[in-house]
Structure 1
């Protein structure tokens, strides 16, 4: 991880290594690549320069200049990614000349056709970071390479000065021959400085390219992948929960209902003074209790009200079954929402009302469901004693994880003495 030009610049053996020459080769190739890019860029920018000069002279730009400005802007916006993406791929390979450390490559999902693939690339941040890299290369390369060329010519003139009869350096006229030997010695002394300068420029180029083309060592891409996998896991969990609910409702619950009916009919056929009457009555009562337990279990997995009528109706159902009086305000959200959003909001409200009943010592609570831009905001507030703490195992950490998996945010305000406000943005 330390075998790169930036690290070798601090090594005393830098001048004796191959890194100065690898840097020179890298920068020479960069000049070859940057030349056509810079030429095309400045050709597109020239109309803007002309227009700025006309405005500076107090005159509006002419129509042909305006047309060329618009054409140049369109080409830059829509054409720059087409140039930047292959250039970024080339630069990631070329950076190995001076920095063999692995560079994270943005992973692009496959598309069914080239148009969809290109449209997806235009929406990615990595594409526009590559465009920024290309523009910086077009803007910075010409002046830097011009300065580097002048320095190289000066170095060559100093080294070759004894062999020249007479040459000028600005306004200074210098005689060649033996009188230029001190200048030749100065040129020899400046060779290490020139080689170090090559390494510095190459290291700066490497750092900039890795920053823009590598996505901060792929951390952003890994975070996106983790968020997507977490959402997929949440969807898979919800799908499995719906399957369990369906199996319980369509299988076990129906069979238990049939068993309860059969036991009830058997009670009618068995005399009350029969030895079997007592156990039969007890079995019938237990079957009815088990039906209630199973119905509550199925309702807890995913309530039928939420599936059939949507989130507002499910919230009203929660409020009706709460031991604490609960008011519901959901007039702004009467249409159906995406299933993941509805499920997440419902279970947040259910867990919050359970906490209110168990821990808050509250006399009343309220649920407010409102629209906020493209999302919804769910607020559950109670007048209890407050002091809700996720570390005490009240389920708040699990709620935060569920909300985060759905791409939302959870906020909690619960000062000692109350009130407690739980706010979820989805």
Structure 2
């Protein structure tokens, strides 16, 4: 998932390689022009009310998109006028940063413009040759990353103030919504961890004891005379124990498949296809493994879709596609059945839709009469 604010971006190691530094530069360097417009409209706003500042406020809201501090739209209020005052106050540091950037760029470009018959002034001294200009250029290269962080700091401070001023009534509500979303995600993660624990306990405990029971009954059956009264009872118990083992293995596999944990989503989906009573074609392009929670949710979406197709659709062919592009994992299951599926009538997809939503994803169903039926889930990674 990409950074949502400039503060998130600054904390990442790839900050200087992203577009964020230049977003900050564009925002800070445009602040003096915004300050001039704000200064011109402020007297009218103070006399005639905040609506007089609507044109400048609209432009300022769009300018704030550079640092993702506010949305465009919403009624103009006195908080917007207060924000214009902040823009005016930030004009001076923005001008200072602009001059500093020009100086650093001049230092870096010095070797390109110096000539033997021209003396080049670089702020801290004069140079006449390329050799003399190189130390200044190296100094400029060293100062540029630091200066970009300073631009980001100023833009970040302004974005924080803008968020507080332009949305004062909604800040607490948005914070609560974020906390609810994070709580739902923690619940899903805890649920998946519990599923893995139950699967591990059943696999290492109950399943192994049933395997031992099957072996002991098999040995007892061999040791008893075929015509003895106990032979038939032991043989029946042996058959029931083997059937119990098969059912237990299916149950354990349904809780959390081992292939998903060990080999990842492509292998787990192929295993599902091999076990399906309907021919299934799997196409996977998942170059990197997403988080275990997302991987598990995607797997169970496909599991439920295949189960529904086998029980209700009358399909003869199913296609499963999974791809990971632009930090979004997409899984899609399409069958050629009769269609008419509905998430509100016991299809089992309603709970999966809630689980997708808890992870910030979406689940959609397309099932016209006479088919085809397509179940599609998308998860941000």
- 1:373 equivalent to 2:342? Answer no
Q: 1:155 — aligned with what? A: none
The unaligned stretches of length 5 or more in structure 1 are 1-26, 51-62, 65-69, 85-127, 134-208
Q: Which residue pairs with 2:371 in the alignment? A: 418
Question: Residue 305 of structure 1 aligns with which residue?
Answer: 259
Q: What secondary structure, in the 3-state scheme, does the structure 1 residue paired with 2:90 have?
A: helix
Residue 357 of structure 2 corresponds to residue 400 of structure 1: no
Q: State the secondary structure of the residue aligned to 2:375.
A: strand
Partner of 1:6: none
- Structure 1 residue 213 corresponds to structure 2 residue 165: no
- Give the distance between the partners of 2:97 and 2:209, measured in 1 at CA: 79
TM normalised by structure 2 equals 0.61
User: Which position in structure 1 is the counterpart of 2:184?
Assistant: 230
SS at match of 1:218: helix
Q: Secondary structure at the match of 2:368?
A: coil
CA distance in 1, matches of 2:162, 2:149: 14
The Cα of 1:406 is off from its aligned counterpart by: 2.2
Q: Residues 351 and 45 from structure 1, CA distance in 2 versus in 1: closer, same or farther, beyond 3 angstroms? A: closer
How far apart are 1:222 and its partner, in Å? 1.4
1:316-339 C-alpha deviation (Å, 9 max, x unpaired): 111111111111111x22543321
* Paired residues for 1:96-245 under 5 Å: 128-131=159-162, 209=165, 212-214=167-169, 216=170, 218-245=172-199
Task: Tell me the C-alpha RMSD between the 2 structures.
Answer: 3.3
- Counterpart residue number, 1:268: 222
Spell out the pairing of 1:249-398 with structure 2 (5 A cutoff).
Answer: 249-330=203-284, 332-398=285-351
Q: Displacement, 1:282?
A: 0.7
Give, in whole Å, the separation in 1 of the partners of 2:266 and 2:303: 13
Match of 1:79 in 2: 154
Which residues of structure 2 form unaligned runs of 5+?
A: 1-77, 100-121, 124-143
Aligned to 2:229, the other structure's residue is in SS state coil
Aligned pair partner of 1:43 in 92, 101, 104: 92
Q: Give the TM-score of the pair, scaled to structure 1.
A: 0.55
CA distance in 1, matches of 2:98, 2:310: 70
CA–CA separation in structure 2 for the residues paired with 1:46 and 1:336 = 46
- CA spacing shift, 1:271–1:343, aligned 2, 3 Å: same
CA contact (8 A) 2:287 2:324 kept: no
Distance 1:283 1:132 in 2: 71
Structure 1 pair 229–270 and aligned structure 2 pair: CA distance change class (3 A): same
Rg larger for: 1
